[in-house]
Every structure is written in structure tokens, then in C-alpha cells.
Structure 1
């Protein structure tokens, strides 16, 4: 139980948001207004949509509303892995869209570079580091998967290095590490909250009207325009982009396509020079393991270790709410697995422990739709890999709202929606069966039982 002592003084708040450089909120919208484009949601998807809309047409009148503050939800709570994949990993994309996966990988790398260019162009101070990422085997049965992963990634344009146990431990030292694949080019590490705040500042500088503490409550069509009701007035817009992700969509017919699942993370205190030396980690890559109940891990700019993942929690009765941001039993599990992985860090304390909602879809990556005769566009379902993919989603929404046929809008990824989740109680029963089967698969050397194989055949995935 010594690992529990490390949780004694944790702050129950996301580390990234506990920042003295956090900008003040913009005023809530009071009274009605009109605009060319209304963006609902102040996470990455909404911020990129507003910013790119102004880049495409500087004269456009763009309004962005956010129910809390910019970056409050997933955009300020994630691990800060900004990946090129648009499909929640190459394996998921290859299984679902084999005929266009080469295009999706190319567009994903172009999108990642565009994010890096925007960070530089707008002077966004977000600790951007193009380190790449490691997939690390921590069980013997996972080791043979690494060569296949490296070969597949290379086939579709990645630059990888296959590492044996000694080589991976030379990168990051843990007695549990048995091998790894270093994808050297397709991931950047970032301070996620500062990225969101930097995008907000860029939007304001370009003339976007940003109103925080202004939730969208209802959406209606009125002839050539769409109206969104807020607590203090109504916004009338020629076009609307919905970027609410894990929160219920203003379009009721979209709600069955996503569910909120909760993910949790710990952040250590800053490591001393001696403890850093015991870890190695000179190249500062983020890493994860290939288990179904996986960890994602990275080192921050001030030399803390973020340790997240493992448990993914769905609760049909509670939806999205602050009461779910804390889960002591998961924090205890994370602390135990942290010290098992890094015994040389015994005595380190955790400074922060938090959780947040992920917008999950049945195909494990973003999907799109339009409504109200093309005046409303929607993107959701990023399933925890949205730091990079949200910018691509913003481009797609703007293409759809413009009625433009582009390389992006011609993709099956864009034109086809996933299967919706079934209604309750079948939804909870299915998720419970899936979670038990995934845990059994981890215990049984990755073998997938009849239930998981059935989901695979139905195109429902559930590979992580």
C-alpha cells in the first residue's frame, strides 16, 4: 500500500489547467446577435473551425460560444499527444478504410505539419516538441506485434525504429519494458491547455467574437438562417458548426452516435536531476503500451511524468459532469502500476489527479454529418485522439458548410457515419460485456473471445 502515500497531497484538478498563465474568460454573450458563422464549442474542434474560417475569409463574421471556458473539457485534460493519425491509429484505419488509408495517412501528416506551422505563425507558447512516440511491449506476447507494427507503419510512410529490450530501456528505463517501436515523425508532445488558449488568442486577434460561459441550449431553422438560443439571447447565423463532442449535441438525432466515457490521469511532482538520470528519457518521447487497458505516458516541460489511462469508465446514469472527474479507485490503480513500471521513482509524489470525458464512437474516430439543408455541420467521436484530428475535422466542417467537393469530403471516412450505439439498457449491457472481454484478452495473451470477434465482424472495433 506504499503507493497510496504518493496520492496524499494531490490536487483534484487537471495539471494543465492549474496554470497561473491561464487567460481570463471573455464576457458571456448578453442579448441577441447575428453572424455569418456560429461555432458552438470552445475545445480544439471549435477553435480550429473559427480560426480556419477567418483564414479562409477574413471578412467573415464568426462567433464562437463556449458553455464553460475555452479548454475546460477534453482540450485541457488530455495527455498532450498530438498525433498525425485521423483514424485512431493506423490499424483501425486500415481495418475500416483499406482503399483510402494511404490518402488518410498522407492527409494526417499534412494536418500535423499545419498545426506545427500555426503554432509557429501565431506564436503559441505550448511546449511543442516533435518527439515522435513509442509503443512499448510490457508482456512477452506483445513483443512479436512490434515488428508487424513497424513494417505496416513504414509501408504507409512513417519513419520507425524497432527496438529490442536493451534499446528501448536505453530510451526510457523500466524493468517491465521488453521491446518497442519508435515512430519518429508522426507525434508531437504539447501542453494541451496552452494550445487551446493560444488558439483562442489567435481567434481573437483575427476578429472572432468569443463568448465564454455561453452555452448553446437549442437550435432551430428559420428560413435562410439558423438560430441558436443561449441563456441571455439568440444568435442568428447563416451557418453553424457544432463542436460539442462529449456533450449532448444540439441535434437530437446525432446523440446516439457518441457516448461519454471517462479517462483518468496522474501527474508527478517535478523530478530531480538524479531521478531524471535514473529514467534516461533524453529524447522525451511519449509512449503507450499495446494492451486493451493501456497506459499513455509522457514527460512535461518541467520534468514531471504524466501517467494516464488503464481504466475507461461509462456510467449510463450520470452523463457528463464534474462529479465524475475524480475516481479514487482508478487513481490508486494508476499509482500502483506507475511504481511497478518505475521502481526507481519510489518516494515521488503525485501533484495532480483528474479525469475527463471522451466522446466515443463505435468506429473509434471522428465522423461527420450535416443538417438543416446544409446550413449546419457536425463533427464528433474523436475517441481520445483528437488533439491533432480536430483540425482536420474543422477543415471538413467548413468544406461541408461551403458545399465544396474536396479531397477531404470525398472520403468514405467523411461520407459514411458509424453505427449508432443501441438504446439503454442494451448499451450498458454491451459495454459491460466488451469491457470484461477486453480485460480477459489482456490476461489471455491478447486472444479475442467470441464477443470481441463478433464486434470485429460488425465493424464495431473496440480494440483499445
Structure 2
């Protein structure tokens, strides 16, 4: 076996964060027909925040949360654990889409992150929540200037940004591939996403939220002042519904054309020795991302491992989201190859977990918000939803309860992204775009005709 085969030989096909003996026991499925003032569909971050915020705003509201699998089955339990202050898939992206509102969007994002930090502290949720910022690195010459420009943009918006040359960034994290870096100490941080999710579920239960796992929602139908929520166990009569299905097919079919389930893959190493950590530096233990179109994200875990993910975004014909797609040998081998290229001093290290999961992407890489006939939704975080999901839940409740707020007046909320084309056109266009992104990375960042066309129309393919 070659080095990659050895490194991956014993890796379980399982998400690292939820593969724990102390994972909470499953909640019982819905027992039959029921009624609630508010039904939340989806047991990830958006759904749990919606349930919690609804009870905080209106304590007498009877809130029922329904999850088709286990809480955190989707992206909320399988992500990299990066918490970002950005609501717009990054500062530069938000400034490009909504230049007139970006200042307020930045502040709203900071307020949102501070509120999460306070809630975690007040509720005693032990989830290794650390606002340690992040570092972006350039691994190709053309990315160096882009990072320098990004540093200036962060400073314009009142955030600390330290641009580092090759020597400076390699002193922080030792990799021979780094050509420059951007240290952003105020830009979010890290969390154990599964423990955060389980802590939110316990907090919701203390507030009186009723939750059922193993309860899929098959359809929604408006009947008078109620929404009928169809499940295999029976119909739930709801005063209103919040959809938090994200990458998975929503029971409201009209929003499916806006959400593209893009699969992202990740690895986690065995624990590193003290000598191996010394060979890396990495004193702040912050998260790191590189600057390519096909970018990596990586971070230390609380028990001394490295989580390494990203690079390619994979779409399956028809938008499949089945759990069998979590195994992708070619993607995992490529990730392992890139890991050892970045950190050659860790040769011989092995991986214990490898997995994949769908990310809810939109054409503009920011969420879709809306409300129709008593059904509100916030979906499409495109990989930056760990923190932004709370803002999404707030906004969905505002729309459902017809509250005119600063959130509902934002262009990001009022304007819908362009829908994706239907199959069979969707799959070849996504593959064509993926190849165009790879070509741009190989050609010093030069975006070809197709990518420039998408840029002009505010369309992207992100993860």
C-alpha cells in the first residue's frame, strides 16, 4: 500500500463530531396526530434556534420540532466547526452584492455572534466555543495580492487584519506551501458543532419545546387558519411552520429550485503527539482556510487532532442526499494527498474518520428567506451557517409573525437569488462550472468566459 492507503486504511466512514459514546439517546418519534402553535421542520441549528427564539419571544407558544433522522443528522452535526461573524458568505462577497448595506450587515453579524456567545455561556453549554479568529493563506502567487486587498477591506470595516508575508505566516503555522497570510483575530472562531447542537436541544427542552426524531414531514397544506403537516405517524395541525430543511428536499416544493445540495468531504486525523504539534507551531489553534476556488478548511479539534476538509464541491444528479454518498474514496484520497503536501512533516500520520455531507448552496451563496401562507423558511447558508443560522431563524420568525424589523427590510431578505435550472440541465452546468473553477486555479486565477458571465449575473457555486 502507498502512503495514502496506509493513512486512510482504518478511517471510519463516520462524522467525527457525532461519533461519540455520549451522544444523546434518540428522542421518540411522533406518536400520532397532534397540534401546535408552531411546527419547526428540521433539527439542525436553524430549527433549534427557531424553536428557542420562538419560546423566548412568546413563552406561551406551543412549539413542536420534527426531525426526519437524528438531531444534527445533516450539516449541523457534520461541518468543520467554524463560527463566522459574516452573514454574507464573507465580507468581500457581501460588499460586492450589497455595497449600500454591508456596513450594517457586518454589525448585525457581530451582534449575532455575541448573542450566541452569551447564550452558550449563560446556558452552560460546553462546546469548546472559542472566538479565536481565523487565518487565510495564499498558496499561489496570484492569491497574495488578493489577501492584501482583503486585509484593507476588513480594516475599512473596523476589524483587525494583519497581512503576513511568507515568513510571517509560516512562523504562525509551519507549512512550506504558504506564500502569504491574513490573520483576522476578530473574525469568528471555532466550536464543537455537535456539542453546541446537543446543548441547544437541551436548552430548547428546558424552555418547553417538544421534539421528535425519526419523524419525516411528507407535505404541507394550508387549511383555513392552520397548516396541516403530514407525517407517516399522523397529521399535525399547526398555527404556523418554519422550514429548516437546508440541503434536504423541502416539503414546500417551490423553494427546492433555489437550493443545490453540494457535497463536501472531510477527514480527521488521529491525535498528534506533542512533537508533531511542535513541528506545526499553530500556537493560537485557530481555523485556517486557503484562498483557491477549490479551497481547504482545517482546524485543530479539542482532543488534539486536525480536521481537514473542502477542496472540491460534488453534485450528484437529481440532487441526491442519501447517506450512502458519505463515502467517496477518490475525494478522500485527494484530501489526504493535499494534507501531506501542506504538512509534509506529518508523514506517517493516520486518519480515523472520513465522511461527507450535503451543503445547502444557493446561486448567490447566501440564504433564501421567505414566507407564504403561514410557512416561513431560511435555507441556503452555503457552508457558513453554524452562526448565521441563528440570524436566519430570527428572520424566519419575523416573516412568519409579520414583524417589520431591520432584518426583514434587508435586500438580502427581500430579494431572492436566481433559481438553479432544473434537471437534466442542472447536472451538466454544475459539472461545467466545477471544471471552469479548476481551470482558473491552474491558470493563475484567471477566470474564463463562463465564470466571468456568472460573475456579471451574481451567480456562483460555493461550499
TM-score range, shorter chain: over 0.9
1:439 corresponds to 2:438? yes
Deviation, 1:463, is: 6.5
1:47 corresponds to 2:15? no
Distance in 1 between residues matched to 2:247 and 2:342, nearest whole Å: 31
- After the TM superposition, which residues 212-291 of structure 1 pair with which residues of structure 2 at under 5 Å, given as runs? 212-291=213-292
**What is the DSSP-based 3-state SS (H/G/I as helix, E as strand, rest coil) of the residue aligned with 1:340?**
helix
**What is the DSSP-based 3-state SS (H/G/I as helix, E as strand, rest coil) of the residue aligned with 2:242?**
strand
Other-structure match for 2:202:
201
Other-structure match for 1:166:
167
- After the TM superposition, which residues 70-149 of structure 1 pair with which residues of structure 2 at under 5 Å, given as runs? 70-149=71-150
Other-structure match for 1:333:
334
Deviation, 1:461, is: 3.0
Distance in 2 between residues matched to 1:282 and 1:166, nearest whole Å: 16
Distance in 2 between residues matched to 1:429 and 1:454, nearest whole Å: 17
Deviation, 1:317, is: 4.0
Other-structure match for 2:460:
461
Other-structure match for 1:180:
181
The C-alpha deviation readout for 1:272-309, integer Å capped at 9, x for no partner, is: 00101111111011010110111000001111001100
8 Å CA contact retained: 1:74, 1:358: yes
Other-structure match for 1:365:
366
Other-structure match for 2:415:
416
8 Å CA contact retained: 1:3, 1:339: no
**Structure 2: runs of 5+ lacking an equivalent:** none
RMSD over aligned Cα atoms: 1.0
The C-alpha deviation readout for 1:341-360, integer Å capped at 9, x for no partner, is: 10111111000000000011
Return 422-431 or 400-409, whichever deviates more: 422-431
Deviation, 1:228, is: 0.3
Distance in 2 between residues matched to 1:182 and 1:210, nearest whole Å: 41
Call closer, same or farther: CA 1:463–1:142 in 2, change over 3 Å: farther
1:25 corresponds to 2:22? no
The C-alpha deviation readout for 1:360-412, integer Å capped at 9, x for no partner, is: 1001011101111xx11011111111101100000001111111100000000
Tell me the TM-score normalized by structure 2. Answer: 0.98
Deviation, 1:425, is: 2.0
Number of paired residues? 462
Tell me the TM-score normalized by structure 1. Answer: 0.98
**What is the DSSP-based 3-state SS (H/G/I as helix, E as strand, rest coil) of the residue aligned with 1:6?**
helix
Distance in 2 between residues matched to 1:9 and 1:96, nearest whole Å: 44
Other-structure match for 1:384:
383
8 Å CA contact retained: 1:49, 1:394: yes
Distance in 1 between residues matched to 2:462 and 2:218, nearest whole Å: 35
Deviation, 1:15, is: 0.5
Call closer, same or farther: CA 1:83–1:318 in 2, change over 3 Å: closer
Distance in 1 between residues matched to 2:147 and 2:458, nearest whole Å: 24
8 Å CA contact retained: 1:65, 1:216: yes
**What is the DSSP-based 3-state SS (H/G/I as helix, E as strand, rest coil) of the residue aligned with 1:116?**
helix
8 Å CA contact retained: 1:4, 1:335: no
Call closer, same or farther: CA 1:118–1:83 in 2, change over 3 Å: same
Deviation, 1:318, is: 5.9
**What is the DSSP-based 3-state SS (H/G/I as helix, E as strand, rest coil) of the residue aligned with 2:178?**
coil
8 Å CA contact retained: 1:133, 1:187: yes
8 Å CA contact retained: 1:131, 1:187: yes
